[in-house]
Amino acid sequence: MHCPFCRHSDSRVVDSRTSDDGATIRRRRQCPNCSRRFSTSETASLSVLKRSGVSEPFSRAKVISGVRKACQGRPVSDDQLAMLAQRVEETIRTSGLAEIDAHEVGLTILQPLQELDVVAYLRFASVYQSFDSLEDFEAAIERLRAEGPRGAAVAAEPTS
C-alpha cells in the first residue's frame, strides 16, 4: 500500500479493527518514510449475478433506480430510497455470500419496500414474484390487508 502523502511504496499496519457487523476491516497504517498515518478499509466484494450470466458489483444506485420506478407518483423521498438501499445491502452482506442472484436482490427489496409504501410494493412485487393473474394480486393485497399498515402492531391486537 503506497503512502498517500509521500508515495513511499510501503506502509506498516499499526492497528486493525473489524466493524460491528463484521463486514468491514479498518486498518490504521503508518508510513516508515514520512511517519504519517492513514487509514484503509477493506470490504469483501459483493457481486450480483444477472439473468444474462454476467456478474457485476453490487450497486445501491441500481437498487434505488429500480425501486424509484415502482415509486412513481408515490410519497417516497430520496432519503427513504437511500435508506432502503442501505438496508438491502446490509441484509445481503449479513448472508455472507460473495455473489448473489439478481432475483434475490429483488426479493430482498420487498420487505423494506412494503414498510415504505404498499402501492410501490405491489408494483415491484408483481414483477419480482412474477404475478401473472388477478388472483396473484388479490392474494398479495389480502396478505397486506391482514398485516395492516404496521404489521406487528396490528398482529398484537386481540382478534375477536
Q: Which residues bind Zn ion (CB under 5 A)?
A: 3, 5-6, 8, 31, 33-34
Smaller CB distance to Zn ion: residue 31 or 116?
31
Residue that is written with C-alpha cell 449475478 in the block? 49
Minimum distance, C-beta of residue 2 to Zn ion, in the bound complex (Å):
9
Cell of 12: 506498516
From the list 145, 77, 89, 87, the residue with the least C-alpha distance to 112 is 87
Q: How far is residue 150's CA from residue 148's CA, in Å, rounded to a whole number?
A: 5
Minimum distance, C-beta of residue 61 to Zn ion, in the bound complex (Å):
34
Minimum distance, C-beta of residue 35 to Zn ion, in the bound complex (Å):
7
Phi-psi region of 10 (alpha: psi -120 to 50; beta: other; left: phi over 0): beta
Say what angle helices 60-70 and 102-116 make with each other, to 10 degrees. 50
Smaller CB distance to Zn ion: residue 33 or 80?
33
Smaller CB distance to Zn ion: residue 31 or 140?
31
Smaller CB distance to Zn ion: residue 11 or 114?
11
Minimum distance, C-beta of residue 19 to Zn ion, in the bound complex (Å):
26
User: Which letter does DSSP use for residue 36 in this model?
Assistant: -
